[in-house]
Amino acid sequence: MSSNFTIEEASFDDWKRVVDLCTETDRWSFTYDDFPVWKKAFGEDKSRFLAAKASENEASADGDVLGFVCMAKFDPNITTIGMYYVQPKYRGQGIGTQLFEKIMQDSKAQGRNICLNGISYMSEKYAGRKGLNNCADWILSILNINGGADTSKIAHLAGNSKVVNISDVDVAKIAAYDQSVAANIDRSKLVEAWLNHPAAWSKVALDGNGSVVGYGAARMVTLDRLVFGPLYANDKATAAALIKAILDHDTSLPTRRIQFFSPSTNDDLFDVLELLSGGNCDDGGYFVSQFTGQLLTIDIKKVYAVSDHALGFI
């Protein structure tokens, strides 16, 4: 196969093409709406989306998107990289390496701490060649419920917290809670954009004093799947209450294929999902959270699902 290509700033059409491609070839879980939401959350100066496009004189590929990668910057010095993808017939020809080098370039020059969630079979490559050799002591498990969820089975777990819609809570309070979990990094713009994602259902848990004790979202992605993320909660009871409230929001949701990208150390989540799925929660592989610099001090026991595994560092 030919590999005459250029690397360009990706358009929304390029993004739509890559969502279709990565769903078809690798069953990745994204949706067209993610692109405008990320753009809104990070802004032009703190994010970049690159597409490798076939050169116009390539009759076989005809200007098609051959590969993709993107990055986002969080203050003070974190850069996340995600959506690293090349069409199967063009793999192994150096397209991915060029995309990766280009997306890392300015963050490397600025000495930023670059991180990604590396899929299991690529993790060693990232650690070796790319210098992403500081790995979290947990793995990011992909958990799937394919046979439907029965929320009545987790009703008894839900504790005393009150679960409300995000419109009922000042988003600054949710962002402050997020920051307390996510290594004290201010992600307020991302929290606001993600919770208002057009394909998502979002809920917040409050204690008796009205303080935020958890929040969560689940969004519809390709292949009729509902992906939870983020799902942060102070305890198992709050996590169960959030999961139940989100799934009960619309009667069709429990019948979807449901996915969580969750730290392997969170046994409480596994307990909840076993009940919710009637023992039919499948292990769909894993990612490794890896950094070029120091690992972040995440309040990991509160993480029941990461925000999004492409551009989120937790």
Ligand X SMILES: CC(C)(COP(=O)(O)OP(=O)(O)OC[C@H]1O[C@@H](n2cnc3c(N)ncnc32)[C@H](O)[C@@H]1OP(=O)(O)O)[C@@H](O)C(=O)NCCC(=O)NCCS
Q: Which residues of this protein are in contact with ligand X, per CB under 6 A?
A: 26, 84-86, 91-97, 118-119, 121-122, 125, 129
CA distance 237 to 272: 9
Question: Which lies closer to ligand X via its Cβ, residue 129 or residue 184?
Answer: 129
Question: Which lies closer to ligand X via its Cβ, residue 16 or residue 189?
Answer: 16
Closest residue by Cα to residue 42 from 81, 7, 5: 81
> Residue 121 CB, nearest distance to ligand X (Å)?
4
> Residue 171 CB, nearest distance to ligand X (Å)?
31
> Residue 187 CB, nearest distance to ligand X (Å)?
21
Residues 6+ apart with CB under 8 A from 122: none
CA distance 229 to 61: 35
Give the total residue count for the chain. Answer: 314
> Residue 131 CB, nearest distance to ligand X (Å)?
13
Question: Which lies closer to ligand X via its Cβ, residue 99 or residue 181?
Answer: 99
> Residue 65 CB, nearest distance to ligand X (Å)?
12
> Residue 259 CB, nearest distance to ligand X (Å)?
16
> Residue 29 CB, nearest distance to ligand X (Å)?
12
SS3 content of the chain, % helix, strand, coil (to 5): 35, 30, 30
Question: Which lies closer to ligand X via its Cβ, residue 96 or residue 214?
Answer: 96
Question: Which lies closer to ligand X via its Cβ, residue 135 or residue 164?
Answer: 135
Both tokens of residue 122?
A: 């690529």
Taking CB positions, which residue lies at the least distance from ligand X?
Answer: 96
Question: Which lies closer to ligand X via its Cβ, residue 188 or residue 264?
Answer: 264
* Kind and range of the H or E run holding 13: helix 12-26
> Are 148 and 227 within 8 A, CB to CB?
no
**Cβ neighbours, 10 Å, residue 200:** 22
> Are 265 and 300 within 8 A, CB to CB?
yes
CA distance 277 to 169: 30
Question: Which lies closer to ligand X via its Cβ, residue 122 or residue 253?
Answer: 122
Q: Which residues are 49's β-sheet partners?
A: 70
